[in-house]
Amino acid sequence: MLLAALRDEVCEANHQLAAAGLVSLSFGNASGLDRASGVLLIKPSGIACDSVRPDDLVAVAIADGSVVDGSLRPSSDTSTHIELYRRFASIGGVVHTHSSYATAFAQAQVAIPCLGTTHADHFDGPVPVSRPLGDDEIDGDYERATGIVIAETIDALGIDPLAMPAVLVASHGPFTWGSTAVEAATNAQAVELVAEMAHRTLAIAGDAAALGDRLRQRHFRRKHGSGAYYGQETGSTRSFDS
């Protein structure tokens, strides 16, 4: 079986999305990339995340999007995943969900504000929302255009993709990524958590202030980057140039 170890990891990531309540029906998908071979594994289209098996996953070449192994049709979001792998050389996993709170922010076309240290522990600032896609993008290569607008949103921040491993696609929902598929799924859980917290905070105090830069940066840097001291050396905290 092609890329057996990666199949197990990507299958686990899809199951993790379901177990965390981030996906309903067949909405959502996780993929993982083997950069050495230039092949990604992704959930088949229309298959529920909690029922996917390792041998169900479809192997797709990132060079041209062709299926290189598997009898099922790959996720309709495959071109979005491919575009992110091409644009973000440091990532090895991509996840898309329609989780309720994060998707609500995406539908409102509002970034998830950083209102407290829980958010800052995971994301280096507000989780951004993309611009809406234009008619030509919707009518053209829509899924690839979605990947392009995600990368455009991160590029505009001037930030490492692993420091902000999420974008809300306007009117659509959250996409997350990480160094592995499982990490991308963990980031999807974190997006939904901070979105729910922000929603509840703003319901209590609509004028709640954003977390100050000094405290935000202290919380983020203690967990991520070269100076991180949270957790153990064998932990799975994200690593990037800070």
Enumerate the active-site residues: 121, 230
Helix (H) or strand (E) holding 221, with range, is helix 213-221
In whole angstroms, give the CA distance from residue 187 to residue 39: 22
In whole angstroms, give the CA distance from residue 29 to residue 141: 19
Phi-psi domain of 177 (left: phi exceeds 0; alpha: psi -120 through 50; beta: other): beta
Closest to 30 (Cα-Cα) out of 16, 10, 45: 10
How far is the CA of 106 from the CAs of 78, 125, 128, 215, 223, in angstroms?
A: 20, 16, 9, 26, 27
The DSSP bridge partners found for residue 58 are 42
Going by the DSSP 8-state scheme, the letter that residue 137 receives in this structure is H
Q: Which amino acid is at 144?
A: R
In whole angstroms, give the CA distance from residue 133 to residue 11: 31
The β-bridge relationship of strands 166-169 and 67-69 is unpaired
